[in-house]
Structure 1
Amino acid sequence: MKYKMLCSDLDGTLLATKSDVSEYTISQIKRIKQHVRVVLVSARMPSAMYYVQQDLGVMDQPIICYNGALVLHGENELHSVTIPLNIANDIYKICKPRHTDLGLYAFNKWHVPKTSARVEKEIKYTKTNPVYKPTLDTIRAWENNKMPGVHKIMLMGTKETADEIMPLLQNRFTEDLNLYRSNDTLIEIAPKTVSKLTAIQKLLLSDQRLEDVIAFGDNYNDMDMLENVGYGVAVSNGREEVKKIANFVTAKNTENGVAQFIEHHIHI
């Protein structure tokens, strides 16, 4: 197989552990990176991706953050779409009586109202630290500073609160937001007009098409990308729906499935 761009999700896909890429994966990326553009594509914020990019030796390439809402190339902002702050405020009003916290992400900022087991996990696994501030105070401060909006909202509650909140959001914001159930307790929210696929399309060079892209993923927010690029590969630990639409299912992320596929199928 020969492709001009390789795009990979991080968590549950490229990362062999919750926070690190393996030496095996690093060696396989090193083998191909002079011939194939290697672009990391994630729901993460920029600072939670830079260390992976550095470990892989692909700092010269762009990164796609927040499921496609922010695309950066070094210090240069190539693309940015945000959720308006008034919508963030409306979401807060839905979540507050249901004891669900909001993580607000804008550019390279991450604000949470307080620490929790979930927040501590993210600190550990993404090697980033949030600002602790009441959600309404964050929204008001960003309004005063003329911030255009937020790139991602993470709702952190319980399975029961997520089950209750998800249909409320779908009924009210279906035209404005993309809603992803990350797991039983987490809901990720992104602007409606963006996805990992739309961001990849913006990075195609003049001589490149989607058919020239190979992509790797595991979760619902990877499906659009895997279905529409030239070749979509799911890891075997991925969602069943994702594996069904993929062209190929490789080994689990913990077994270096992406690196295995690269070694056996991508020839330079």
Structure 2
Amino acid sequence: MSIHDMPTMFDDADLARVKLVASDMDCTLLADDGSMPPHMAERIRALAERGIVFCAASGRPLYTLRDMFPDLTDYMALLSDNGAAISCAGEIVFTDLIDVATYHELIDFTLADGRGCPVVCGIEAGYLRRCDAVYDDFFRRFFTQIVYVDSLDDLDVDVNKYTVYFPDKTAEEVYAETYADAWGGRFSVTNAGREWIDMMNKHVDKGTGIRRLCEYLGIPLADALALGDTYNDIQMLEAVGHGYVVANAEEHMRAHARFVAPTNNERGVAQVIDRLLELTD
């Protein structure tokens, strides 16, 4: 069965019971041009009025997600850094920090490997080497607060994720060749598309993040809905009762969800939310 032949929101018999809608950002909620669906703020407020929480679930840091949803954080949840930090109604309710010595091991490994740019994801900013500022325009899409330093050697800040950027889009290959075996025993290691390898403390991923958020909100996982498109969404899609892939996801992702939503460019997330709003009006 092709991803396009999967059941849709119109086949989701229990959709009206959903109390949490969690959406990945890139290639899921956001179109290919990086834009948000029109009237998304109104949808988030309409969900909140019905007692339904919208959650942006992303590898992006918390401060970037806040900037992407201005004036809305009191109405929604933010699952950032692939679950390493969670905010609900404007309050940080969970963080999972990587100790300083450990993230320096990761930096040294990346520099020795030589194929990617190390990005140290602090709670307040992303820390990068000044020599990697040539990619600043790209980095600013994900990190609205960046501190460039001549060297990362002396860095000592609160960090909840370590990521590596691959300008040549070889993250999947490098992950399979090197990072999975080297670090998979100690860390939660995942691809966030073809340009990033993300590393969090063991057992930190979007799946454990959505479980923590549901527990905090008192919402059964069976009444949670998640939408995603790629590897770092798999655990989240499998954790919830209503797992949706967007139709632009790669075929292998169909094994991890029950339903398919229209593509990101067709504003599939917004269409699913609109269907939910219709059913709960």
TM-score range, shorter chain: 0.7 to 0.9
- Checking the alignment, whether the CA contact within 8 Å between 1:11 and 1:18 is kept in structure 2 is no
- Residue matched to 2:88: 73
- Checking the alignment, whether the CA contact within 8 Å between 2:188 and 2:202 is kept in structure 1 is yes
- Residue matched to 2:266: 255
Cα 1:67–1:18 change in 2 (3 A) is farther
User: 2:109 is matched with which residue: 88, 94, 98?
Assistant: 94
User: 2:139 is matched with which residue: 116, 119, 122?
Assistant: 122
CA distance in 2, matches of 1:202, 1:160: 32
CA distance in 1, matches of 2:198, 2:30: 20
- Residue matched to 1:230: 241
User: 2:184 is matched with which residue: 154, 163, 174?
Assistant: 174
Deviations 1:167-221, CA, capped at 9 Å, x for gaps: 4332332222122223344312122121112122222257421001011111111
Task: Decide which moves more: 111-120 or 228-237.
Answer: 111-120
CA distance in 2, matches of 1:154, 1:105: 7
Cα 1:206–1:20 change in 2 (3 A) is closer
SS in 2 for 1:62: strand
- Residue matched to 1:9: 24
**Letter of the 2:226 counterpart:** A
Pairwise CA RMSD: 2.5
Shift of 1:159: 5.1
- Checking the alignment, whether the CA contact within 8 Å between 1:25 and 1:258 is kept in structure 2 is no
Matches within 5 A, 1:72-221: 72-73=87-88, 76-99=91-114, 100-114=116-130, 115-116=132-133, 118-123=135-140, 125-126=141-142, 128-137=144-153, 140-142=154-156, 147=157, 149-157=158-166, 158=168, 163-164=173-174, 166-204=176-214, 205=216, 207-221=218-232
CA distance in 2, matches of 1:18, 1:87: 36
- Checking the alignment, whether the CA contact within 8 Å between 2:126 and 2:143 is kept in structure 1 is no
CA distance in 2, matches of 1:199, 1:73: 12
Shift of 1:161: 8.1
Gaps of 5+ in 1: none
- Residue matched to 2:11: none
Q: How many residues align?
A: 259
- Checking the alignment, whether the CA contact within 8 Å between 1:38 and 1:58 is kept in structure 2 is no
SS in 1 for 2:27: helix
CA distance in 2, matches of 1:218, 1:4: 21
SS in 1 for 2:69: helix
Cα 1:183–1:263 change in 2 (3 A) is closer
SS in 1 for 2:159: coil
Gaps of 5+ in 2: 1-14
SS in 1 for 2:75: coil
**Letter of the 2:159 counterpart:** V
**Letter of the 2:207 counterpart:** L
CA distance in 1, matches of 2:119, 2:69: 24
**Letter of the 1:90 counterpart:** E
- Checking the alignment, whether the CA contact within 8 Å between 1:215 and 1:226 is kept in structure 2 is yes
Shift of 1:243: 2.6
**Letter of the 1:197 counterpart:** G
In the superposition, the TM-score normalised over structure 1's length comes to 0.85
Deviations 1:222-260, CA, capped at 9 Å, x for gaps: 111111201011111123222332111111111101111
User: 1:60 is matched with which residue: 64, 75, 87?
Assistant: 75
